[in-house]
Amino acid sequence: MPQSYSATDKEVIGHHESGVQTVARMLNAIAFYALLVLLVWLPIPLGSNRPWSWGLMEVIVFSIFILWLLSQMLVPKALSSAVIKARIPLLLFSLWVVFNFLQAFPVSSSLLQALSPVGYNLKDYTLGVLLSEGSSLSNDPGATLVAAFKAAAYVGLFFLVLQLIHSRSRLKTLAWVLFFVGLFEALYGLMAFVAPYLTIFWNPSPSSLSGTYINRNHFAGLMEMTIPIGLGLMFYRMQAPQIHVNWKSRLRSMAQSCLARRNLIVLSVIIMFGALFLSTSRGGALAMVVSLLVIILFVRIASGSEAPEVRLFPWIALLIIAAIGWVGAAGLVDKLANGTLDNNRILVWQSGYKIFKDYPITGAGGGTFQWMNPLYRGAETGAGYNDHAHNDYVEVLSESGLVGFTLLAGALLLIFVSNLRAYLKRRDRFFRAMLFAASTAVTAQLLHAFVDFNFQIPANMAYFFVLLAIGVCASTLGHRQKRC
């Protein structure tokens, strides 16, 4: 017999459900704002490239995930459309994380010999009889576990952005936060460069403009991801061309344009471009300029000259010229003219390729390049020490082999192509601007990865995954707000 409720009971139940929904909504909001705080914090402590800072990143990411999970347990809701769209890349990312952990755990000696003959011989020489009990695929399980937890944090951050950015307003807030982080780093870097005694945060490299990063190339990597956000916001606020009937109308329009908020964005982007050029990072400057040209040319070919982004081209050219004129960029021109690679990078790449040839299937283990490189470097490389390959593709191949590289590259390729397709189809000005920003930033990072190791810097890798997620969100969100 069905249970009946009095009017008073129904009212109590209704209040209880309303209270649960309020708590769930509050937990979701806390998770969102905690995510923003994390993104503001990540670049400050040397790009979070220290054990304590990347450990803090992992703890915060997993804590935000728990907050979101609690809100789901209180009021179960379907996964966001962004998560559904990215389900295959998410699966590949998850398998990549699992593979990183599996590298660190013991396997039988027969399986180790089948998957990694060179690794088996190396461990047979060093461990001897102990190898019969089994050993890990990684040559340094501790370093590989560290890399695995980082990978889990990056993928967790990607998922959280897809799930928490469920409305246009949240996406806009996230975009502004990323843009202001880039502007702050540019201004702080300029201040530290001109007057290092005024700095209050980390300023480890006063000889070059690097913001709160140790390496100017990694500072440039952050600029490559935040400048496109500023250009996207500028494009979003750009007005359609106006027809002027006389010179008074033209002057009035110019005066109104000078007072518009978008000009503050233009000024900020000029400052960020100037900081990028003053960093004298050849890879960063070239990756930024080439990625902008590639994306605009792609839109021009796919959509024709009437595409609104094509109108950005003269603005971008003026911004680059203004930034170069402001900072001079003599140091950058000299380095580009010199054309040589620092730290014998080609020789380091060759040593990384040798590692990959010896460990082609599963790699030598995540985080092991710095320990494996001395075994493969030739006398011509010198006595220097290289903790990274200065080429993220070579480093991933040497550490993860074809298995890890295929999982990671497959997920990235699927998201990148999907975002480009959505970019051509979307008509909403804001979402299109965010897809432009995400596509340009991701392209710049992928180009810069050929000559540097931005993907090994936790703050930059985290921002890269966030920008991938921003592209997915901008391709799936509708015009109406959705309450959590």
Three-state secondary structure readout of 390-426: CCHHHHHHHHHHHHHHHHHHHHHHHHHHHHHHHHHHC
At 13, the pLDDT band (50, 70, 90 cuts) reads very low
The answer to whether 213 and 207 have CB atoms below 8 angstroms apart is no
How far is 129 from 111, CA to CA, in rounded Å?
A: 16
Q: Is the pLDDT of residue 128 over 70?
A: no
pLDDT computed for residue 278 by the predictor: 87
Q: Is the pLDDT of residue 230 over 90?
A: yes
The answer to whether 402 and 393 have CB atoms below 8 angstroms apart is no
Q: Is the pLDDT of residue 119 over 50?
A: yes
Q: Is 107 helix (H, G, I), strand (E, B) or coil?
A: strand
> Hey, how many other C-beta atoms are within 10 angstroms of the C-beta on 152?
21
Q: Is the pLDDT of residue 396 over 90?
A: yes
How far is 347 from 344, CA to CA, in rounded Å?
A: 5
> Token pair for residue 145?
């576990």
* 7: Cα within 13 Å, side-chain hemisphere: 0
The answer to whether 96 and 407 have CB atoms below 8 angstroms apart is yes
Q: Is the pLDDT of residue 241 over 50?
A: no
Provide the Cα torsion 422, 424, 427, 431; round to 10°: 50
Number of H helices, E strands in the chain: 19, 2
Higher-pLDDT residue of 387 and 18 is 387
pTM over 0.85: yes
Closest by alpha carbon to 220, among 402, 1, 457?
Answer: 457
**Mean pLDDT throughout 309-323?**
68
How far is 160 from 148, CA to CA, in rounded Å?
A: 18
Q: CA angle, corner 140, sides to 356 and 95, nearest 5?
A: 65
> Hey, how many other C-beta atoms are within 10 angstroms of the C-beta on 174?
23
> Token pair for residue 87?
């389900």
Ranges of each domain in the chain: 15-240+259-476
The answer to whether 209 and 192 have CB atoms below 8 angstroms apart is yes
pLDDT computed for residue 217 by the predictor: 93
Q: Is the pLDDT of residue 196 over 80?
A: no
Q: Is the pLDDT of residue 418 over 70?
A: yes
